Each structure stands twice: as structure tokens, then as C-alpha cells.
Amino acid sequence: MKFGTKAIHGGLEPDSATGAIMTPIYQTSTYVQDGIGNHKGYEYSRTGNPTRNALESNLAAIENGKYGACFGSGMAAIDCVIKMLNPGDEVISTNDLYGGSYRIFTTIFAKYGIKFHFVDMLDLQNITDAVNENTKLIWVETPTNPMMNIIDIIAVSKIAKDAGAMLGVDNTFATPYLQNPLDQGADIVMHSVTKYLGGHSDVVMGALICKDEKLSEEMYRIQNSCGAVTAPMDSFLVLRGIKTLHIRVQRHCENGEKIAHWLKDHPKVDKVYWPGFENHTNHDVAKRQMRGFGGMISFTLKGNRIEDARDIVKNTHLFALAESLGGVESLIGHPATMTHASIPKEEREKSGVVDSLIRLSVGIEDIDDLITDLETAMS
């Protein structure tokens, strides 16, 4: 079954009670039982809900996995992964990391005795050098947020397996339409479903997908025990969103490519970070492990003045100044003061998050209107 078909049908069946082709919204907290221990597969909606379970099956299908679990946010999904570890365990992650991930690692879990190493994963030797007998997880973003760095999943998977560690991949930017980390050796894949999977800026949700049964049992145990689950209505909205994921992401890619090339030729722009450029670091890896280069772009301005960045982001109209990404509408953001403000300035700048860096989430509007909007703001 090809991806567009899986997005619409994967893991889903018509409602068994009514034949409804769309999964119903089972807006209930509990389920009546015929007798003690005699129920229809559902007891309490924290543990299981038919709408959420349908979404989890659909997510597993489009990521070529077997097991999916949905959470109240992307951060709740990451929280579940780190709770699989124990005090004394160590995690290796990229130095170019979403600020929320960095924050939960350093301010929540570090105090429980889990040690985190942040390294430049473009050089695989840095990962190997950080591995020791306590390494239990390697956590990867690719493309990274916001520098669009491409990390070689297959190569990192070999390092993880040699170390006896789990490999987790945040696949939010690429989406399952462009990249399937489980097929490249990852043990578990995470999504901020809020972004491209939902696609319409109306849901906050996270998800984990894996193939291994034992790993799934731990994933579901934590999901049920901690209770950071998503609601039936939100699950329904994401099921609807995924049905158009392939055609939306294709348009995001097309618009992103045109804007990346337009920015590259703009006299006020210093550097453009987009994996589709041949001179982008690990471009060859991106071509191998991705089926397109996405709609996320970051760029810096000549002179690196924060004032210039502020002038641009406040003067766009179609590109809305807002947190998040991946919706049908275009967004513009300033990572240093928004998504990555929780990372100390000196650490941000080491990975390239300088004061003039601007991040674009290119939507699916008409490309001529988007370029005109940027041109007006930058003039």
C-alpha cells in the first residue's frame, strides 16, 4: 500500500457499530461492563479510547511501525521516552535541538540523575566519543530545529546498536511522507502531532511509534500510568488531517524550494539553511534518507542585527508571527527569543542560533503571494 493510500486507510476500518466510514468521536470517560472483567475491550478512556486507538493505528501504519501511542503534546511524548530510563543512565543528543526538548532534559530529568550530552552530530565521531557504558539513549532530530541540519539515521543507528542503546528520532519536521526513521534503524519515532500531522493549527498532541513489542509495552505502561493522553475530539481532528498529509506536504515542499532560492538571491540575506541546496551540509544524506526537503527554512541577515530581524517579522502579513509550524498557513518566527529562548545565549550561538536568525514555516498558500509578502517586509 503506497503512502497516500495508507494516510487515508492505514490501520482504519469502518465503525463496527454503525458502518460509519469516518471514525466516530467517542466522547466518553468510561464504558459499561456486562460483568466483572467482562467488557468490550474498553474500561476507562485514559487507558484506551476507540477514537484515539484508531489514530494510534493510523500513525503506526504511515510510519511503517506496529505500535503507536498518542499524548497530550509532543513534550509529553518525549517525557514518556525519558521515563523509560533510570538514574545513572546517560543520553546523547544533538547540540542543535528544539528548546523545549533541551529544557525538559536539563531542568526536569537531569535532577533525577540522568546525564545529557549535547554534541554536534554532523560529525559522527562526536557521538562515538560521547558513548560510554551508561549510554542508554541517543536522541536525534533531523532535520534539526532551527538549523535544518541533517543527521545520518543509518549511521547513528549503528553507533546506538553497538552501544546497546535505544535510538529515538524526532521526525516532526520531515513527517512520515518524507522520512521513515524506523526503516533506517531507529527504535522509536516521536512526532509533535501539533505540526504537520494535524496540519491546521487547531490541535496540540504528541505521538510515539515503534516496532518492538517489548518497547511498546513499556510505552503503553507509561502512557496509562502517567495519563498524559490526548482527547477523542483532538484524535478525530488529527485523523482528518492525516488524510491530506501527502498532498499538503508536497505543496509545502514546492513552496519551500521556491522561497529558499528567492532568499538565497536576496541582497539582505547572509545564509539560508535548507537541506535542498547542494552545498547544505549532508545534502547527500538528505537525498538518501528523505523523499523531499520540506517546507522549513531558516536564514540570517547581513550584519546580524536583532533589530533588523524584528523589523522583518513584525511587518509580514501572510507569514504570521507565531510559535509552532506545519500548518497550512505560513508562519515566521525568531528562534533566539521564541522557540529557543530557554537555551542560554552562548549555547544557542554555538549551534548557529544567532540574533538575526529567522525561521519560516512555509505554508500552502499561493507562492507569488508569499514571496510578495516577504519582499515587502524586507524592503
Tens-place pLDDT, residues 158-209: 999 999 999 999 999 999 999 999 999 999 999 999 999 999 999 999 999 9
Give the mean model confidence (pLDDT) for residues 267-276: 98
Q: Would you state the pLDDT for residue 320? A: 98
pLDDT of residue 341 exceeding 90, the answer is no
Catalytic residue among 6, 52, 195, 243: 195
Catalytic residue among 46, 251, 258, 268: 46
| 195 annotated active-site | yes
Tens-place pLDDT, residues 99-139: 899 999 999 999 999 999 999 999 999 999 999 999 999 99
Read off the pLDDT band of 265 (50, 70, 90). very high
| 102 annotated active-site | no
Which residues 6+ apart lie within 8 Å of 69 measured at CB?
56, 77, 80, 207, 208, 209, 216, 219, 220, 223
Please measure the distance between the N-terminal and C-terminal CA atoms of the chain and give it in whole angstroms: 48
Quick one: fold of 3-242?
Aspartate Aminotransferase; domain 2 (3.40.640)
Q: By the 8 A CB rule, do 44 and 30 touch?
A: yes
* Distances 325 to 73, 252, 311, 330 between C-alpha atoms, Å: 14, 11, 21, 8
Give the mean model confidence (pLDDT) for residues 321-327: 96
Q: Would you state the pLDDT for residue 73? A: 98
Q: Cα–Cα distance between 89 and 121 in angstroms, integer?
A: 20
Read off the pLDDT band of 41 (50, 70, 90). confident
Q: Would you state the pLDDT for residue 350? A: 83
CA atoms within 13 A on the CB side of 231: 7
| 273 annotated active-site | no
pLDDT of residue 275 exceeding 90, the answer is yes
Residue whose C-alpha is closest to residue 196's, from 217, 213, 179, 181: 179
pLDDT of residue 36 exceeding 90, the answer is no
Read off the pLDDT band of 343 (50, 70, 90). confident
| 170 annotated active-site | yes
Give the mean model confidence (pLDDT) for residues 217-239: 98
* Residue 262 burial (10 A CB sphere; 0-12, 13-18, 19+): middle
Structural domain boundaries in the chain: 3-242, 246-378
Residue entry with cell 515542499: 253
Q: Cα–Cα distance between 141 and 152 in angstroms, integer?
A: 10
Quick one: fold of 246-378?
Aspartate Aminotransferase, domain 1 (3.90.1150)
Give the mean model confidence (pLDDT) for residues 94-101: 92
Catalytic residue among 26, 67, 98, 102: 98
Mean of per-residue pLDDT scores for the chain? 96
pLDDT of residue 40 exceeding 90, the answer is no
Give the mean model confidence (pLDDT) for residues 220-244: 98
Q: Would you state the pLDDT for residue 314? A: 96
Tens-place pLDDT, residues 51-84: 999 999 999 999 999 999 999 999 999 999 999 9
Q: Would you state the pLDDT for residue 342? A: 78
Catalytic residue among 79, 89, 96, 170: 170
Read off the pLDDT band of 37 (50, 70, 90). confident
